[in-house]
Structure 1
Amino acid sequence: MLSIEPLRTSDIEATASLHRKNLRLGLFPKLGRHFLGLYQESFARSPYGIALVARDDDDHVVGALFGTTANAEHYRWVTHNFGSRLALAGCGAMLTRPQVALDFARTRMGRYARGVARHMGVLPSASASAAQPRASRPVSVLSHIVTDATMRRRGVGRRLIEGFANRATARGVHRALLVTEEGGLGTPFFERLGCRLVGQHKSHDGAILREYRLILDEEGAYEDLAGDRRAYTVVHAYPKRLGSASILPERP
């Protein structure tokens, strides 16, 4: 019987291999299993992270999920507590992967340096200088979800998301963002769950990315429609129930 449990240290070799083999988008899979293992461990240890695995009857890891309940706070915590180890692992990997190092320098070095400076307090955060009425609301992100190729379409991904939703809502989170590559396996999977497409953009590597909003409970289902507050959109999303969006009258 499939079980969903928090990530153990002994699981990391398996989850890093799953990630590297099945989620090839972006820089991190190119940096190898050691870097991915540290990166995944940071989710398990962070007070703002969620790291889950799916186990089969033989206790084999057949899926994994990594997310945050407060994304900016999570990466600030990671910078302070895992930053040096991740930097060393990343630099070590790039020493033996010159093309990866060139791509990093060309597409990401400046952004990463500014991000680290903001997290360390050297530069002001972007939100600090902008008047945003909802800036105090933490942004939850479902960062990665992966299943073994032999276990797809068996409910592993749904069970992992259900586990994420249960843990996130227990911490006061009602909805989460996620990003997947257009045309990949993630697009139909997330749309079957009732996720709402909220944006589309290009990655640093040129891939087209689709950004979705995942509703975790009834509280998270109410959103302003075009900002006019005359009606709300409710998305019937897993784990409550699946279905298309419908319009409800304004809440009292």
Structure 2
Amino acid sequence: MKPIRMTCLATTLICGMMGCASQSDIRILEDRVIALERRNLELQQQTTEDIDAKAAALRNQSASLQVATDQVRNEIQALDGKLEETRYQLTEQTRTSEDVSRRLTRIEDILQIPVSDMASGSTVSGSNAPSPSAPTTPATQGAAAIAATENELYQTAKQAFDRGDFDQARQGFQELLLQYPNARNGDSAQFWIGETFYRQKEYEQAILEYQTVIEKYPSGKKVQAAFLKQGFAFAGMGDKANARLILQELIEKYPGSSEAKIARQKLSTL
């Protein structure tokens, strides 16, 4: 009986010890599981933060790229606008050159003057218009006249025109242009030269002088008036067809001008 009792006691002790070891292992495993779960949460949180940071960086990069793309697009649009403007200017210059060429050819055909002579400022063959005055010199003109200012020359010539002394006025305006090639009132002086011929019914020469205004002073304040008086000069010559062409050209180029209004009235009578 004693050996059996000892065996049972040993078995009991062993079982007890085995039970205690199992509970300890379980606690250790639970602690490890808790630690792993905590570490997993930390990793998840860190991963989420990393992803958010990278997403924010990508969004910033995307926004920067969008801004750069918009800038490039705006620059391209600006360049397209400049290119279109340049193309338009070239087209206008070509059209203007063609218009001048056609006008010169038309006037050449009408007046029977070579275009080269018109460009050089030659007068109509057989016209009794006086040639431009020779440059003044101290030997031919007094000191006071030599010292005359641009405005004085212009006013003196205009006064002669207003009182009907067209020859004297023409000579004065020509003198002004000789002494002051870049005169502030150069376009007006050239126009009034044409007017002196028009008032004397020398329409062919007047047409040439008006043409000089149009070609030499394209941005001047007398261009519209020169077109108008060219049309009137052709009408005065009895050339109604060319008068209509010139007046219609004036209306097309300067539709809102006072000269265009007069041109419309004149066209109704041709």
Give the TM interval when normalised to the shorter protein: under 0.3
Structure with higher RCO (Cα < 8 A, 6+ apart): 1
Which structure carries more strand by proportion? 1
Which structure carries more helix by proportion? 2
Larger Rg: 2
